[in-house]
Amino acid sequence: MNIDGLIEGQLKFSEPAIWNSSPIQNGGNSTPNIIPFAQTDVIFTLLTGISPELNELHEMQIGKIGRELSEYNETAVNSLIEKYKQQFNDYKQKEYIDPIINLLEGLSIKEMGEMAETLISLTSFKRKFSSDIGTVGGPTDVLTITRGEGPIWMKRKKYFDGEMNKGYELRRK
């Protein structure tokens, strides 16, 4: 199962393995969202309370149990499994996703930028100590974009040091 985000406060998930990182609009008004890009697994783990890989294994095992029990009463087993899946997803929504998304409404732009940086840092930290996927490290640039102020760099690496590039400054004069 893949998690695409939230629509009207409900978790949107789908199969097969395609992540959708599009912003979600609610009646023309922006709603708070966390929209991860690239290495999304750690963010989805924090957001949903279960890693995407473990969630996929869980779904596969539930399907396997359903297939094994369907010889007894397929309709009843399928109904029970669907009820279980709905309860499981409702619990994730209520206990993990909603509290974080609702928290976003009260955060300042600065705090949202800090939250984004923290989520990226947690992903980098996990990659540092695991052998699965390589990642880029180092400082994180944080750019916030608001309707009123447009793009604002909250934190940005110094990519050009004038002190180390005197020739550039002389050529500009």
pTM summary value: 0.62
What's the rounded Cα separation, in Å, for the pair 167 and 13? 54
Residue of 87, 69, 89 lying closest to 78 (CA atoms): 69
How confident is the model at residue 61, as a pLDDT?
92
How confident is the model at residue 27, as a pLDDT?
33
Strand-strand pairing, 10-14 and 2-7: antiparallel
Burial pattern 64-80, b for ≥16 Cβ within 10 A else e, equals eebeeeeeeeeeebeee
DSSP assignment string, 47-73: HHSS-HHHHHHHHHHHHHHHHHHHHHH
pLDDT exceeding 70 applies to what percent of the chain?
A: 77
Residue of 49, 51, 38, 3 lying closest to 140 (CA atoms): 38
pLDDT at 29 over 50: no
Average pLDDT over residues 54-82: 88
How confident is the model at residue 152, as a pLDDT?
85
Burial pattern 120-137, b for ≥16 Cβ within 10 A else e, equals beebbebbeeeeeeeeee
Domain locations in the chain as residue ranges: 2-106
